[in-house]
Structure 1
Amino acid sequence: MAIIIIVSAVVSANVENIATSGVIIFTAVILHNLFGLGLGYGTGVLMKLDESKRRAISIEVGMQNSGLGVALATAHFGPLAALPSVIAAVWHNISGPILATFWSKKPVKEEIEEEFVTDAVNPTAR
């Protein structure tokens, strides 16, 4: 709830700035988020971690604490500096569920093998 109030305050103070540079900021936020998600996943690949750990690292790296960014930028620089973090706070609430839904439809290989073993040992276990 606090994030919603802070986001509302920053947006209301920056309506003109959002109108003039919102597309550029939104594009930068999306690219930043995608880069973080990819970097986290790629790091897991390089470290030869299993798929579930790669996904977890991707989320940890890709979903930055934009609420903290809003608070720090507002306190030390002003509402305009907080605008990218505000947009990121909104975007993370969109991209996170999209990624979670995508990955939920692609079960991790170990999970598939575990279900197969469970079914083979005890077909009525489900």
Structure 2
Amino acid sequence: MLPVDEIRLNFNPASLLALNAVLGFLMFGIALDTRIGDFRRVARMPWAMSVGVAAQFIVLPAVTFVLTLLLNVGPSIALGMILVACCPPGNVSNILTHRAKGNVALSVSMTAISNALSIVIMPLNFAFWGSLQPKAAPLLRTIALDPLEMVGHIVVIIGIPFVLGMLVNHLFPTFTQRVKKPVGALSFLALIGFIVGAVAGNWRYFLDYVGLVLLAVALHDALAFGTGYLCARLTGLQDYDRRAVSIEVGIRNAGLGLVLIFSFFGGLGGMAVVAGVWGFWDIIAGLTLASWWGRRPAQRAEQARGTWA
């Protein structure tokens, strides 16, 4: 069995083009559920929003970097973990926040802001932490990643569909109300289908190497949810907000990670296996956490005034 850093998973150009289209459609669906008011709402809860964004773009990548050192994982696995940590959340986080009886308005606003910021921050974040990882840095140099080229790619598959979706929402609100739920559900199912297809098309590799990454992915995912919750708790956010921040930080868009892995890294083994396993594990873990929280009423501002609890 070849080392995981030496294998390349197969994903033909036509399938990759289709995956890019599906991801763009997913972002369009997220934007259909995003209003200008979601950005204005940030002004009414600047502290909670700042905590959530900092937890996603600063704390989680740093925690992930430390985890790759502690687990002593291989170079491509380390890069996969860092890339997933740098990805923005998807709209499934809004659904899970609602199920968890958390602050859905905060969740929706964080998803919108995070996806907008990730267009620039994500590739720079990945390049920064990847270059610091002692095992992964030499591999990253051989790939000769150009962060600006990745920015351009992300603009096409995230930025443009996101702007178009918001424009449709603003100009045709009645039409948007009718189609946003079907579009969101269809795009999410299509993305899951492509993740399943990527795994199925490389099933032998996943069977051979899943044991190498499963523990790392499980720990990483638990730390992502825990990072969001701890950041929210330490900064004094109420339980209602903590649930939203925890889920927003814990849910990462592994589909975007797979697109970038096949587009820029040639389907590099450890990276692709990490993103593929994360795509399933993350939803299962998020649904479990949201269901557990959903059975416990969240403490709101009027209940928690003057306390941290």
Question: Do 1:40 and 1:62's aligned partners in 2 also have CA atoms closer than 8 Å?
Answer: yes
Question: Do 1:14 and 1:83's aligned partners in 2 also have CA atoms closer than 8 Å?
Answer: no
- In structure 2, stretches of 5+ residues that fail to align are 1-188, 304-309
Whether 2:253 is the aligned partner of 1:61: answer no
Q: CA deviation at 1:101?
A: 0.5
Question: Do 2:239 and 2:298's aligned partners in 1 also have CA atoms closer than 8 Å?
Answer: yes
- More relative contact order, 1 or 2 (CA 8 Å, 6+ apart): 2
Output the CA distance in 1 between the equivalents of 2:217 and 2:228.
16
Output the CA distance in 2 between the equivalents of 1:44 and 1:85.
26
Task: Spell out the pairing of 1:4-15 with structure 2 (5 A cutoff).
Answer: 4-15=192-203
Q: CA deviation at 1:13?
A: 3.7
Aligned pair count reads 112
Q: CA deviation at 1:47?
A: 0.5
Whether 2:258 is the aligned partner of 1:75: answer no
TM-score under structure 1 length normalisation: 0.79
Output the CA distance in 1 between the equivalents of 2:258 and 2:265.
10
In structure 2, the residue matched to 1:46 is 234
Cα RMSD (Å): 1.8
Output the CA distance in 2 between the equivalents of 1:97 and 1:45.
21
Work out the percentage of aligned pairs sharing the same amino acid: 32
Output the CA distance in 2 between the equivalents of 1:69 and 1:89.
9
Larger radius of gyration: 1
Output the CA distance in 2 between the equivalents of 1:72 and 1:5.
17
Output the CA distance in 2 between the equivalents of 1:4 and 1:101.
21
In structure 2, the residue matched to 1:91 is 281
Q: CA deviation at 1:69?
A: 0.4
TM-score under structure 2 length normalisation: 0.34
- In structure 1, stretches of 5+ residues that fail to align are 114-126
Question: Do 2:221 and 2:250's aligned partners in 1 also have CA atoms closer than 8 Å?
Answer: yes
Q: CA deviation at 1:74?
A: 1.1
In structure 2, the residue matched to 1:107 is 297
Output the CA distance in 1 between the equivalents of 2:212 and 2:289.
23
In structure 1, the residue matched to 2:217 is 29
Specify the code of the residue in structure 1 equivalent to 2:208: T
Runs of 4+ in 1 over 6 A off after TM superposition: none
In structure 2, the residue matched to 1:116 is none
